Amino acid sequence: MMGRTHALTGWCAGLALAPAVGAGSVHQAVVFGATTAGFALLPDLDHPGASASRLFGWLTGMLSWVLRRVSAALYALTKGPRDEKVTGTHRHMSHTVLFAAGLGALTAWGTAKGGPWAVFGVVVFGLLLAEGALGDWLLPVSAAAIGWWWYTAPPDHAAQLEQITGWLGFAVAAGCIAHCLGDALTESGCPFLFPLPIAGETWYELRPPKFLRFRTGKKVENRLIFPVFVIAGILLVPGVWQAGEATFQRLFVPPASQTANP
């Protein structure tokens, strides 16, 4: 999957999961969705050309290099006799549920210890990750969204951010898992259930039947999947569906008094 599609699927996954973790208000859901959108790009830090690897220049480039080395070492140590003869760098360690759970747990611990500023840092980092994939237009939109959140949220902003610490780790993990599920739909698949052995492979690339797979960056993704998630990403924002339904009723459904029999 392309980076922009990963970001959109992460955004949709976050908005869909937000009520389940208690982020029920529009302010909380937007923060949750923005975090999942950004961290849906983080697993590709294991590729030197990914937007996540180029985000902060040499710093994220060095992190990418370290991640690739660790992933390759883990693959060499754990691969089974039926696993492919590959380097084990891209789409391996960072593309697993274990990685997502570990990063989510680390985020939950860090934000609990660091308080509101740690929460703010995680959310902004997620926005920057999403901006790297979606384009610079997201910077003014993000700035406007932060301003909207600040001026329309309840007055005690520190307390609002403190409440987020309880589920921000879930947002990070959900973003990474959304990335893995997206890659699993492509022709290459994704070994996200490592180290569960499947068909004699420790790093078994899960994928749907061949007719349901698509090639990254080709027509199916650009003309079908991406537009569908753009629409879903709008409709999943709390209140948007209800507002649209009310508008439809007002414009196209006549009042009961006009349809009643004389």
Is 24's pLDDT higher than 80? no
User: pLDDT at position 35, please?
Assistant: 93
Contact 197, 80 (CB under 8 A): yes
pLDDT reading at 215 higher than 60:
yes
User: Above 60 in pLDDT, residue 258?
Assistant: no
What integer pLDDT is reported at residue 234 of this predicted model? 86
Say if residue 12's pLDDT is above 70.
Answer: yes
pLDDT in tens, 171-206: 999 999 999 999 999 988 999 999 999 988 999 999
Region 124-130 average pLDDT: 90
**100 in helix, strand or coil?**
helix
Average pLDDT, the chain: 86
Say what the pLDDT of residue 154 is: 64
C-alpha span between 88 and 101 (Å, rounded): 20
DSSP three-state, residue 140: helix
Nearest CA-CA partner of 204 in 83, 81, 95, 100? 83
Q: How confident is the model at residue 119 (pLDDT cuts 50, 70, 90)?
A: confident
pLDDT higher than 60, residue 52: yes
Q: Average pLDDT in the 206-221 region?
A: 86
HSE-CB of 252 using CA atoms within 13 angstroms: 5
In the structure, what pLDDT confidence band is assigned to residue 253 with cuts at 50, 70 and 90?
low
End-to-end CA distance of the chain: 59
Of 86 and 151, more confident: 86
pLDDT exceeds cutoff 60 at 261 = no
pTM: 0.86
